[in-house]
Amino acid sequence: MFFYLAKAVWFVLQPSTLIALLSGYGAILIWTGWARWGRRFVSIGAILLLVVGLSPLGNALILPLEDRFPRADLDRPPAPAGLIILGGAENRLVGGARKAPTLNEAGERLLEGAILAQRFPDAKVAFSGGDAGILYKSDSEAQGAADILTRLGVSRDRLILEANARDTYENAIYLKKELEGEGTFGPEARWLLITSAYHMPRSIGAFRQAGFDVEPWPVDYRTRGWQDFSKLFDKVSEGLRRVDTATREWVGLLAYWLTGRTNALFPSPDRTGGSQG
């Protein structure tokens, strides 16, 4: 129920949709007795479109998320026992239809996973991702990930695939159960978590709440760092996408905290999981 409710609520709450709904509602009102209000709504929608789409707002929102967790120190012993790659890097709807690997802008999750698998040849490679579609169903991301990773040189017998998770919390819960069944889960083993940098705080919080201590390996950075805090966008669509992406994570962190799915409102590198920096 949480999964479907979250999908429905987010569809309405994402900034780009709110701007479109506001402008559309105003356009309708212009042709009624509420024309004055209609013009106001359309004007506000147009201003928001320009501000959200072209201003540095998206970067300002995503930077604290991306910089929250630095990469783990891979030079210290022991070597990682396993690598965890979270789904979200594939378009299985298109890939399944075209019978070809189809990555989106988060494709570094799989690429970095393959690179680290070569660096640590004894480490297991666990992937978690099912089918998160509602209107259009496809096969699980785990199927596509297995094909891509093996083509990138990862031996099939190293892979542990979890194909039922539809969100981050389910990634943590289902993958922990899968690893316990495989006999590869233990308190002393180092597991690296590979996901998009902006998604790392919520992911770490969910895994900690599930009782699975992981170390961060953020990828898929959308900014260079704080020098992009004041960087303008040259395409409205790009600015809108950045604001949508960052807002989704902030709303997700709040929702996970309120429902007990993460151990802190804004998880920190401190293993106690506090929100303080």
Q: Is the Cβ–Cβ distance between 128 and 142 less than 8 Å?
A: yes
What are the structure tokens assigned to 166, written together? 């539809």
Spell 115-128 as b/e; 16+ CB within 10 A means b.
ebbeebeebbbbbb
Confidence of residue 126 (pLDDT cuts 50, 70, 90): very high
Question: What DSSP character marks residue 156?
Answer: G
CB 129, CB 142: distance < 8 Å: yes
Q: DSSP H helical segments within 220-261, as ranges?
A: 236-258
> Looking at the predicted structure, is the pLDDT value of residue 116 above 50?
yes
CA distance 167 to 262: 13
C-alpha count within 13 angstroms, C-beta hemisphere, residue 8: 5
pLDDT above 90: residue 62: yes
Q: What is the pLDDT of residue 277?
A: 40
- pLDDT band per the 50, 70, 90 thresholds, residue 132: low
- For the whole model, what pTM was predicted? 0.91
* pLDDT beyond 90 at 188: no
- 83 strand-pairing partners: 125, 192
Can you read off the two tokens belonging to residue 118?
A: 């070569």
pLDDT at 17: 94
Count Cβ atoms below 10 Å from residue 217 Cβ, excluding itself.
24
Give the pLDDT confidence of 143-180 residue by residue, as tens digits. 899 999 999 999 999 999 999 998 999 999 999 999 88
